[in-house]
A and B are shown apart, each in its own frame.
Chain A
Amino acid sequence: MTRWRLPSDFDQVAVVDLARHYGRRKALSQVSFTCASGDIIGLLGPNGAGKSTLLNILATLSSPSRGRVEYGNRTAAQGGAEIRGRIGMLGHDLFLYPELTARENLVFFARLYGLPDAERIAQASLTRAGLADRGDDLVSGFSRGMRQRVALERALLHEPRLVLLDEPFTGLDQASTTALVARLRERQQAGCIIVIATHDLDVADGLLSRAIYLKNGRIVGSDSDSRGLSERYRLAIQ
């Protein structure tokens, strides 16, 4: 696939004093960090720590109550659709239409993103997902792992700079997990900024370039050690 650099492209994302409140409940408070091209950031924390809320704000799907996210030198409000065009997200729900085939899903989203030659891009994505021979099957007939592979390729169709993944390893077998990790490594090499919210510390260990520990909507720790994530997580969260 041809790489291009849009005027809206960025190679750093800065989260500045971010807060998000739902009524009186504080989902996020005083969250600040930066990440740059080639980083794989792990958002780690117990349920309700604010990981998904933070991902939604990074994806521009949700507005912060206070603070801002800067994509390069622009905020989401300033960049609008151009910034969205540089973000790819894989949610816990896979963002796929089960009534459509894998190919139809990919072609639809490629067209929605205004990509030229959507059919060719979809075929390349199916090949990367190892589903070239199942492209014309309905997604509803796929296993969780196969859906996850299609969903990841959907999120990466437009070669986004910022890749946001919410619990990407849930329900995957060993082979699918290994393939997903390899694909993320490849995107890291290509200069993507990858942010992963996960509970799967065993898989995340060694993959992350930085771990950010969240508890009750606040950052309670951050480190860049390469191993021993479970122990570091336990120490940070307790």
Chain B
Amino acid sequence: MIGSFFRVAWHVMRKDLTVEVRSKEVLLTTLFFAVSVVLVFSFAIVREGRAPDDVAAGILWVAVSFSGTLAMGRTFERERYNDTLRALLLAPADRPAIYTGKLLGLLVLLGLVEVVLVPLVGLLFNAPIFAFPGRLAMLLVLGTVGFAAVGTLFAAMLVRVRSRDTLLPVLLYPITIPVMIAGVRGTAALFQQTPDLAMAQFWIGLLIFWDAIFITLALWTFEPVMTE
């Protein structure tokens, strides 16, 4: 049963990544958007190579969340285009496995975006990204998982709604505020002049808590919300 769940999730994720490798549409637009956000903020905020305290963390997460929303919308737009989401839902597979596959595919794409984004923020905002790389990576992974877990569910729910592009951020941002706050505060604790590791650890713990809640709720509700 568990083997079948992960087999389906793997096939869905692999299919999404194959489609993305062919089109490069989501990755390039998301990356371009994320880099643009960081550049615009850096021109506006950084003076003589220095940015105000905590700004780098905020901008990093703004870029992740905005570009992530774009990626979620586009990923499901593809499934809408030829109604392939219905084909996925028709399969005799656990529907939460399909959700998991879509989520994993999105996480891989967002991970690639962050690989470019984090060094760029470090460079432009003079943020110490290599001071505690393990903890920073943990914050980014956990924050992205929490954000994408909710976003994947909502993007799937809204796929047949005409105003989905407007509704997705309207629904997504208020609910993922706890994740965003934890991500920003945890990252800020690492980026500040005297890093506060205990505080970063606290926010990492909180992210684990929210991720567990969001993933559980999404897995639980995916099947009923996808049945019209």
List A residues at the B interface (Cβ < 8 Å): 56, 59-63, 81-82, 84-85, 87, 89, 91-100, 104, 108-109, 111-114, 138, 154
The answer for the CA separation of A63 and B18 in the assembled complex, in Å, is 33
A91–B83 touching, CB < 8 Å: yes
Contact across chains for A109 and B93 when beta carbons are under 8 A apart? no
| Complex: A94 Cα to B86 Cα, angstroms | 10
Contact with A61, one of B8, B78, B82, B90 (Cβ below 8 angstroms):
B90
Is there an interface contact between A100 and B11, defined as CB atoms closer than 8 Å?
A: no
Instruction: Provide the bound-state CA to CA distance between A98 and B89, in Å.
Output: 18
Query: Closest B-chain residue to A79, C-beta based?
Result: B92
Q: How far is the CB of B76 from chain A (nearest CB, A)?
A: 13
State the majority secondary structure of interface residues on A: loop
Q: A97-B19, A99-B22, A108-B11 are in contact. Are A114 and B228 (CB under 8 A)?
A: no
Q: Are B92 and A59 in contact (CB under 8 A)?
A: no
Could you jot down 8 A-B contacts, CB within 8 Å? A60-B227, A81-B94, A97-B19, A98-B81, A100-B19, A112-B88, A113-B92, A114-B93
Could you tell me if A63 and B82 are in contact, using CB atoms closer than 8 angstroms? no
The answer to whether residues A82 and B83 also contact, given A100-B19, A108-B11, A114-B4 and a CB cut-off of 8 A, is no
B91 proximal to A (CB < 8 A): yes
* Chain A CB within 8 A of B84 CB: yes
A55 to chain B, nearest CB (A): 11
The answer to whether B23 has its CB under 8 Å from any CB of chain A is yes
Asked if residues A104 and B18 are in contact (CB atoms below 8 Å), the reply is yes
- The size bracket of the interface on B is 20 to 34
Residues on the B chain within 8 Å of A114, using CB: 4, 7, 92-93
Considering the chains assembled together, what is the distance between the CA atoms of A112 and B5 in angstroms? Answer: 10
Interface of B is mostly: helix
The answer to whether the Cβ of B87 comes within 8 Å of any Cβ in the partner chain is yes
Nearest A-chain residue to B12, judged by Cβ: A112
The CA-CA distance from A95 to B91 in the complex, in Å, is: 12
Report whether B90 and A59 are in contact in the complex, using a CB–CB cutoff of 8 Å: yes
Interface: B50 (CB within 8 A)? no
- Bound-state Cα–Cα, A63 to B84, Å: 19
Tell me the bound Cα distance from A89 to B85 in angstroms: 13
Contact yes or no, A97 B84, CB < 8 A: yes
Q: Are A109 and B19 in contact (CB under 8 A)?
A: no
Q: Which residues of B contact A94 (CB under 8 A)?
A: 82-83
Give the docked Cα–Cα distance between A82 and B81 (Å).
Answer: 27
CA distance A59 to B228 in the complex (A): 12
Distance between A18 CB and nearest chain B CB, rounded to angstroms? 14
Asked whether B91 lies within 8 Å of A113 as measured between CB atoms, the reply is yes
Nearest CB on A from B219, distance (A):
15
B23 nearest CB across to chain A (Å)? 5
Residues of chain B with a CB closer than 8 A to A62's CB: 227-228
| Chain A min CB distance to B181 (Å) | 37
Task: Assess the B86–A95 pair: CB atoms within 8 A.
Answer: yes
Q: Which residues of A contact B82 (CB under 8 A)?
A: 93-98
Q: Is the CB of B15 within 8 A of A84?
A: no
A173–B108 Cα gap in the complex (Å)?
A: 42
Would you list which residues of chain B between 72 and 119 have a CB under 8 Å from chain A? 78, 81-84, 86-94
Q: How far apart are A100's CB and chain B's nearest CB, in angstroms?
A: 7
Assess the A63–B91 pair: CB atoms within 8 A: no
B15 adjacent to A100 (CB under 8 Å):
yes
A84-B92 CB under 8 A given contacts A56-B228, A61-B227, A100-B15: yes
A230 to B88, CA, bound (A): 36
